[in-house]
Structure 1
Amino acid sequence: MSNAEKAATAVKKAGARKALNAANLTRLGPERLAALLMEISESGPAIKRRIKLELAAEAGAGVLAAEIARRIDAIDDSRARINWRKYKEFVRDLDAHRQAVAGPLALLDANLALDLIVRLVGLSASLASRIKDTKGELEEVFSEAVTDAAEIAPRAALVDASSLADRLFEIVRYAPPGLSLPLLRATAPALHGQPLVDLRNRLETVSKGRGAPRAWRVGAQILADAQGDVDGFIALFTTSEAVLPPVGAEIARRLLGAGRMEEARKALERSEPDRASAGDPGAMDWTQVQIEVMEALGDAEGAQAARWTSFERDLNPNALRAYLRRLDGFDDVEAEDKAMDLALEHRDVHGALALLVDWPRLDLAARLVAERGDQLAGDKSELLERAARALEGRYPLAATLLLRALIWDVARHADTERYTQAKRWMLEAASLAAALPEDGGYEDHEAFAERVARLRRW
């Protein structure tokens, strides 16, 4: 080996030894690492807090809980706005405390962990006006905390749930409903006895006030569910609400669970959706509950008819699969062919494309694109791109038409937010150009690209 080669090898080895990884840090030894951490912690409060969390976890549940509580209190007591320059650091710091609650503290003491995770979610109310969470990273921390609460609550054995109930009452009143209601549902298993009754009564009382947010009433319904009080849950809906398909489905589902099948059937009758609601998730949920009620009443024929009606109206793939499973012999093959033909002609061309791609019947999906491609909306990026991916191998023409619909929509509307995607779609369309039929009567890639170039601004 030459001197130059030896020098290069030495440099490589030195570089490997300098790489920042666990193995190299271990070689420094505990004393040097401790000194280094002390030096670093002096330059960053968040780093210091992170180290103190690790030390507190070693000291026990009480010490760790006190450390986390101090930080939560400090954030809650402050009224200062959090500058965008501090946004990332703040989110990381808050998430580190969340992880400390959900991890080591929850293992050491589920009661302390539940109290602190609820308090942490409660910060969402005061932080809403103090920080711009444009990227949704702070909201994600709170959402994770709600998930943590659902895991911790069943393990908590609160002797006195009053303080938890008081805290939840304030959170439901002031925190965003998207967090407060899931949190209430997650922590309900830890509430019991009089505190649960009192919290429900308090929410029912404030929900009756003029202009009261609907979330307060929903909170009372969550607690009625926790108590197994079906009639109490239903009573919190108004008469005009009970005729809405999603509400009727919720009511019927609970009556069915309580073995009150005939009442469940009547609740569905009062809230039957009209044909104008085809494809609406609430109508689809209503139909699913209707089927469950029919089966509970022994009406297998009616349940099958409802499954087919659901498919005809909404192109609901789950309803179709359930319908086909219950057919005898080769009837399922004939029924499936009929269903696919229905999809090709269905008024909801986007629902039809999704069904045929996912079923999968790619041959029919390609036919749909060829026959009804002009009805596909280019702004439905997720669906059209997914369909193009599925079709590009065997049906490059259909995939190309879908990509062109996406590209043209971006160019025509100068949709700057999708310019990067449009460039990628154009490259993908170009890669399929060689596989297109020469005599299909379709515009070739070069002509299409030239037409787009007259409009595009990317």
Structure 2
Amino acid sequence: MAGKALNKTNLTALGPEVLADLLLEAVKGDAARQRRVRMALAADDGPQTVAADVRKRFVAIRRAKGFLVRPAQKKLAQELTGIIEMIETRIAPTAPGLAYELLWTQLHLAEGIQERTDDSWGTIGETMHAAMEAIARIAPSLTLGPETLADQILEATVADGYGAFDGAIEALATAMGPDGLAALKEKASAACDAPITEADLAPYDYVRKADRENRARRARNATLERILQEVADLQGDVDGWMAKYSAEQLTYHTIAPDAATRLLKAGRAEEALVLIRKAIAAQRGDRHDSRELDDAHFACLSALGRKDDLRDALWARFEAQLCPDALRHHLKLLADSEDIEAAEAARAVVLAHPEMTRALWFCHVTQDLPLARHLIDARPTELDGDVYEVLAPLAEEMSPSHPLQAVLLWRALIDFSLTQQRKGRYGHAARHLQSCAEADTRIADYGPHPSHDVYQQALHEVHARKSSFWEAVAE
């Protein structure tokens, strides 16, 4: 039915009485929406009135014991998200301290909620993350003392079992300032050095006595060490940030790039280069594509002005991974008289690369269709029809200018789908066969490959019983 669009302008034109009737009808029987409307009405009475309603709702949530099934969990998450929005828009502008208090209280609800629901979808976690983001936006307006904030962060983070307070240090760094960060560092360090208590040992009664204290200390201090690392990072203390890791850990491809980046930022490029080269050496023989390691290596060489070494490193990455970005960067560093020769050498590397699919991916990304044609002509038996995400788009791109090579790509996809009986792909395979028929009119010579008619006849003979495929072809 035709009508006006459902937007704010058209709704406003209805007038307050009509809108009030519609709203009452919409919230009828929905307690969560009714609560939100009541809170919105209370906003006219000032932030304290809204805060009182929010606190009442938080108390009810904290006292609830029933298990939250998925629909109830989603509904609660939507309600909490609405409360965050209300706190930020109705309370924070005039009472940022009160808004912070309410958001911090909401984060403390996470543990109780998580214990009575399955949050494998991350619904509740995302809501709490939204609350922390709101705190970060409010933080510049807070007037709480640095020591108070440091105490609150330490207490909440150490007791946090569900990650609700992850990011609290960064979110409140502006409000804490240098004094607050220093206080938090001092408090966390003191907590790390404190004696192990009976409460710390209690969860490890099953561990033999000789190892119990070390086990309890490691568990207790893990969070404290993370706090110290985050504080060090915000203070620009690279050594403090790196102190959490052993020499071996600093060679891991997941850690070394971050460490090198921080050293570079601190003006310690030589140290960064030594660290990153140790990490690269440790990864030799590992088939993992160490993109982050290589990028950090390039950044170190660039910072040190080692242009020749940078060119060599970029070329090495291109040869190993057929990385288009590395090749482009390498070519930009060459003189005009050298880049053409280097580009030809790069094409030879692609043509000879042992992984056919990676070579075709390079052609697709760089849109070098003539190179793809040479590659397919030289190595047609190496086409892997299982790699749909590479072959299918490349075939479409090649069809106008290189129809025979496009057909060979489509045939590889069709053959794999039928031979491996991937019924979910039969519809795609049927479309690919139709594309082959369309391209056939533009192919004068199939060379050593069977013509379209011969190929289709062979499909009938080998796969005659795959009726769902042939039905899709006939559609």
Amino acid at match of 1:277: D
Count of residue pairs brought into register by the alignment: 436
Q: Say which of 421, 427, 432 aligns to 1:423.
A: 427
Residues 1:69 and 1:447: Cα distance change in structure 2 (over 3 Å): farther
Q: Secondary structure at the match of 1:272?
A: helix
Aligned to 1:241: 249
Percent identity reads: 28
Per the TM alignment, residue 335 of structure 1 is displaced from its structure 2 partner at its CA by 1.8
Residues 1:290 and 1:175: Cα distance change in structure 2 (over 3 Å): same
**What is the RMSD computed on CA atoms of the aligned residues?**
4.1
Q: Supply the distance in 2 between the matched residues of 1:82 and 1:355 (Cα, whole angstroms).
A: 49
Q: Counterparts in 2 of 1:388-407, with a 5 A limit?
A: 388-399=395-406, 401-402=408-409, 405=412
Q: Supply the distance in 1 between the matched residues of 2:300 and 2:186 (Cα, whole angstroms).
A: 34
Q: Supply the distance in 1 between the matched residues of 2:103 and 2:55 (Cα, whole angstroms).
A: 10
Deviations 1:317-345 (A, max 9, x none): 33222222222224223222322331232
Which structure 2 segments of 5+ residues have no match? Answer: 194-199, 201-214, 470-475
Deviations 1:401-435 (A, max 9, x none): 5555556656666667xx2x652463355245311
Deviations 1:299-331 (A, max 9, x none): 222122222222222223332222222222242
Residues 1:92 and 1:455: Cα distance change in structure 2 (over 3 Å): farther
Q: Counterparts in 2 of 1:47-58, with a 5 A limit?
A: 47-58=33-44
Q: Say which of 417, 421, 434 aligns to 2:438.
A: 434
Per the TM alignment, residue 68 of structure 1 is displaced from its structure 2 partner at its CA by 4.4
Aligned to 1:276: 285
Amino acid at match of 1:316: C
Aligned to 1:331: 338
Per the TM alignment, residue 239 of structure 1 is displaced from its structure 2 partner at its CA by 2.6
Q: Say which of 151, 162, 166 aligns to 1:175.
A: 162
Q: Counterparts in 2 of 1:264-413, with a 5 A limit?
A: 264-273=272-281, 274-277=283-286, 280=289, 283-369=290-376, 371-372=378-379, 375=382, 378=385, 380-399=387-406, 401-402=408-409, 405=412
Are the aligned partners of 1:189 and 1:226 in contact in 2 as well (CA < 8 Å)?
A: no
1:45 aligns with 2:31: yes
Q: Counterparts in 2 of 1:43-82, with a 5 A limit?
A: 43-82=29-68
1:201 aligns with 2:189: yes
Amino acid at match of 2:70: W
TM-score (norm 1): 0.76
Which structure 1 segments of 5+ residues have no match? Answer: 1-11
Deviations 1:333-364 (A, max 9, x none): 32223223312322344443333222221332
Per the TM alignment, residue 123 of structure 1 is displaced from its structure 2 partner at its CA by 5.2
Deviations 1:47-105 (A, max 9, x none): 21332343355554444455445445544443322223435433433333344455555
Q: Counterparts in 2 of 1:31-180, with a 5 A limit?
A: 31-101=17-87, 105=91, 107=93, 111-113=97-99, 116-117=102-103, 120=106, 125-133=111-119, 140-142=126-128, 148=134, 151-153=137-139, 156=142, 158-159=144-145, 160-162=148-150, 164-166=152-154, 168-170=156-158, 173-176=160-163
Per the TM alignment, residue 237 of structure 1 is displaced from its structure 2 partner at its CA by 0.4
Per the TM alignment, residue 117 of structure 1 is displaced from its structure 2 partner at its CA by 5.0
Q: Supply the distance in 1 between the matched residues of 2:8 and 2:114 (Cα, whole angstroms).
A: 38
Q: Supply the distance in 1 between the matched residues of 2:49 and 2:404 (Cα, whole angstroms).
A: 66
Q: Supply the distance in 1 between the matched residues of 2:403 and 2:61 (Cα, whole angstroms).
A: 56
TM-score (norm 2): 0.74
Deviations 1:371-418 (A, max 9, x none): 5565565555544444445445544555555555556656666667xx
Q: Supply the distance in 2 between the matched residues of 1:449 and 1:119 (Cα, whole angstroms).
A: 68
Q: Supply the distance in 2 between the matched residues of 1:333 and 1:403 (Cα, whole angstroms).
A: 33
